Structure 1
Amino acid sequence: MAQLIGKAKNFVAEKVAHIKKPEANLTDVSVKKVSKDSATFNGQVSVSNPYSHDLPICEITYSLKSADRVIASGTMMDPGSIKAKETTALDIPLKVPYDFLLSLAKDVGKDWDIDYEFQVGLCMQIPVIGKFTLPLSKKGEMKLPTIADVF
């Protein structure tokens, strides 16, 4: 009897391991909006759903870092769902005050850009598997808005 249960567990574990899972990647971080007191950046995530039904997203956690400092972080609760058999683009708004950006002056330097690391945890409810979090990370650089962009 114990052998039969062991074989059943192995069979189920092997089948679950080969189930297709959603895939995602961070496509870009860019300046979305500029105001007199802050800049709003936009993190873009592209998620593909291999299933024939929509996948609800439980939450999205995010963190934008530069020079080993957290610029913006937070959690978006219940941002919607991923369409069945499609790739869905998600936007993550990140509002950062100018005074914080100016505190990163070493990194900004002559070229007026920021080297960043953008980390996202995309938590979805997947049938059979349950809650599943896709960890994503991207490094890059983004240009900051100039005074002319603000006015």
Structure 2
Amino acid sequence: MLFSFALQENFAQGVSLVTSGVDILAVLVAAMLSTAVLAFLLARLRGHIRFFLLFAFLVLMYSLAKQLHLSSLVLVFGLAVNNADLFLRGPRLQRWLHPDQLASELGQLKSLTAESAFLVRTFFLPAFGFSIDLTNLLNSHLLW
């Protein structure tokens, strides 16, 4: 978000400070609301579809971030979900949202994240190596 802040056209006029502030507020509100909705749904759902719901929420957050040009929404959503017990406090929220059930479901998501990161690295690095021509590394035009 800092990079987007510096690249705005109206950086020198101070308007970009307001725009970035609104973006940060939108990211925080969207992440907190989506975490509350996710905790509410996981508390009410029974069966084997709970893990799919977590994955669907990740895809939803990514697409929402892409659509609204809020690059850090997925990061803040992950922080909010992992620390739901800090954000969803109070006896009324605890009774309706059950953040402890959300925390128990996160183990599967963390496992999937670790395995998919390994899978991406496994396919990316050989593909990256296949795309490099060693003769181009000695090209003086590319070095300067």
TM-score by length of 2: 0.26
* Structure (1/2) with the larger helix percentage: 2
TM-score by length of 1: 0.25
Larger strand share, 1 or 2: 1
